[in-house]
Amino acid sequence: MSPKIKTLKELIISTGCNQVEFAKKIGMGQAAFNLFLNKSVYPKRLPNIHERIVDVLVESGITQSTAEAALALNKPVIQAHSNDEITEEEEVMLLAKQSLTPQAKKTFGLFNNPFTSEVQSHDELFVNEDINYVRQALYQTAKTGGFIAVSGESGSGKSTLRLDLEDRIQRERLPIILIEPYIIGTEDNDIKGKTLKSGHIAESIIETISNGQDKPLRSAEARFRQVHNLLKESSLAGNSHVILIEEAHSLPIPTLKHLKRFFELKSGFKNLVSIILIGQTELANKLSERNPNVREVVQRCENITLEPLTSTGLEQYLQHRLKRVDKKLADIITEDGIYAMAERLTQANGNGKTVRSLLYPLAVGNLITGAMNAAAEIGAPVIDRNVIMGV
């Protein structure tokens, strides 16, 4: 009985080389090699791929006949994963930073990448029903008062919405003073790094409202009285004030509780400060109604989570991003390619219910960028399902 012929994947593993390293050795990008290995999609720009693979395998101690037999068996093989689990490798792959190659720019007629470039103005901001709700909630909180926390996954667009709020205040010339304590290097405990304390927030209020003219008084009693008086004077001059903290998931519980006291500062019946917190999903967990340590804060704070795109929203988002470069979506990706993107970036349980979605701007941009690179490398004119599933 003849021995079982090993597959190309098995031979690569036996050399002690992973797929990324092997792809580099034969001169292919990782995405294009995944397409070849798993889908038998042959790159048009590398007609001698078989010879390259055989040479590398032989150099690694595999006999030429064994290598050629494995290549002869190279048929589409899809690695199956449980619906209830996304591996760490996939997690890293989906979120890894991608840059558009010169070859991809030429293939798709792009001078820059519209899917990963920063939003430059409010006109470029993608707005759907969910995003518009968050956008208006931030605006109304800044304009009329309130306490709001916006949380979302990394790359979900939180910072873009913060910039949109700041831009809108400037465009509409609203008498709103944004007070933004510096959060560089802050952590939620003093073991990992420096925590943002109420004293730091008080110093930021004094610095911002006085334009650096007043110095914080030494004692805590005098410093907080100084804050209250400055806010009163500024309010009488017609200003509103917003304490806006990004990376707010790094705030320790005591500081979250102290924010309630800033929020309660008044001049007569008028609140002197509104509060906007922006952070990753840990912020929503800290402000959960089930957390007894912050119940007084939760009772006063509107907690909003940025939702991922839907399948329909994904198509609308991609179309919107292409407007700035005057391109049609059909010039870049097929309809089944868009469905494949939604499939790749969502995780469903056995009943088909979505249990996790990474359909956020950052992950979407990285995936379609990697797909454009792969399509250009194999000579495909547009991205289709096979290209997406092979990235």
Mean pLDDT, range 215-229, rounded to an integer = 92
Structure tokens at 25: 């050795």
Does pLDDT of 186 surpass 80?
no
Structure tokens at 202: 């008080």
Q: How would you write the chain as a 3-class SS string?
A: CCCCCCCHHHHHHHCCCCHHHHHHHCCCCHHHHHHHHHHCCCCCCCCCHHHHHHHHHHHCCCCHHHHHHHHHCCCCCCCCCCCCCCCHHHHHHHHCCCCCCHHHHHHHCCCCCCCCCCCCCHHHCCCCHHHHHHHHHHHHHHHHCCEEEEECCCCCCHHHHHHHHHHHHHHCCCCEEEECCCCCCECCCCCCCECCCHHHHHHHHHHHHCCCCCCCCCCHHHHHHHHHHHHHHHHHCCCEEEEEECCHHHCCHHHHHHHHHHHCCEECCEECCEEEEEECHHHHHHCCCCCHHHHHHHCCCEEEECCCCCHHHHHHHHHHHHHCCCCCHHHCECHHHHHHHHHHCEEECCCCCEEEECCCHHHHHHHHHHHHHHHHHHCCCCECHHHHHHC
pLDDT tens per residue, range 1-22: 455 667 787 788 788 777 777 8
The residue whose two tokens read 């008086």 is 229
What pLDDT was estimated at residue 63?
85
pLDDT confidence of 242, banded at 50, 70, 90?
very high
* Distances, alpha carbon 293 to alpha carbons 38, 256, 286, in Å: 51, 10, 9
Q: How far is CA 135 from the centre of its chain?
A: 17
Q: Which of 139, 102, 104 is nearest to 372 (CA)?
A: 104
Mean pLDDT, range 163-179, rounded to an integer = 96
What pLDDT was estimated at residue 83?
37
Q: Which of 228, 278, 232 is nearest to 251 (CA)?
A: 278
Q: Is residue 315 within 8 Å of 329, Cβ to Cβ?
A: yes
What pLDDT was estimated at residue 39?
65
Mean pLDDT, range 334-341, rounded to an integer = 93
Q: What is the mean pLDDT of the chain?
A: 85
Cα torsion angle, 246, 247, 251, 256, sign: positive
What pLDDT was estimated at residue 194?
81
Does pLDDT of 87 surpass 50?
no
Instruction: Report pTM.
Output: 0.76
pLDDT tens per residue, range 339-387: 999 988 988 766 666 678 889 999 999 999 999 999 998 899 999 998 8
Q: How far apart are CA 150 and CA 137, in angstroms?
A: 10
What pLDDT was estimated at residue 90?
41
Q: How far apart are CA 168 and CA 141, in angstroms?
A: 13
Name residue 221's beta-bridge partners. none
Q: How far apart are CA 113 and CA 110, in angstroms?
A: 7
Q: How far apart are CA 307 and CA 281, in angstroms?
A: 11
What pLDDT was estimated at residue 214?
92
What pLDDT was estimated at residue 213?
92
What pLDDT was estimated at residue 89?
38
Q: How far apart are CA 277 and CA 283, in angstroms?
A: 9
What pLDDT was estimated at residue 349?
64
pLDDT tens per residue, range 252-278: 999 999 999 999 999 999 999 999 999
- The phi, psi pair for 45, rounded to 5°, reads -85, -5
> Which domains, and CATH codes, for the chain?
1-80 (1.10.260), 84-124+309-391 (no CATH), 129-305 (3.40.50.300)
Question: Which is higher by pLDDT, 281 or 347?
Answer: 281
Structure tokens at 172: 């509409």
Radius of gyration in angstroms for the set of CA atoms belonging to the chain, rounded to a whole number: 27
Does pLDDT of 86 surpass 50?
no
* Burial class of 330 by CB neighbour count within 10 A (0 to 12, 13 to 18, 19+): exposed
Name residue 176's beta-bridge partners. 240
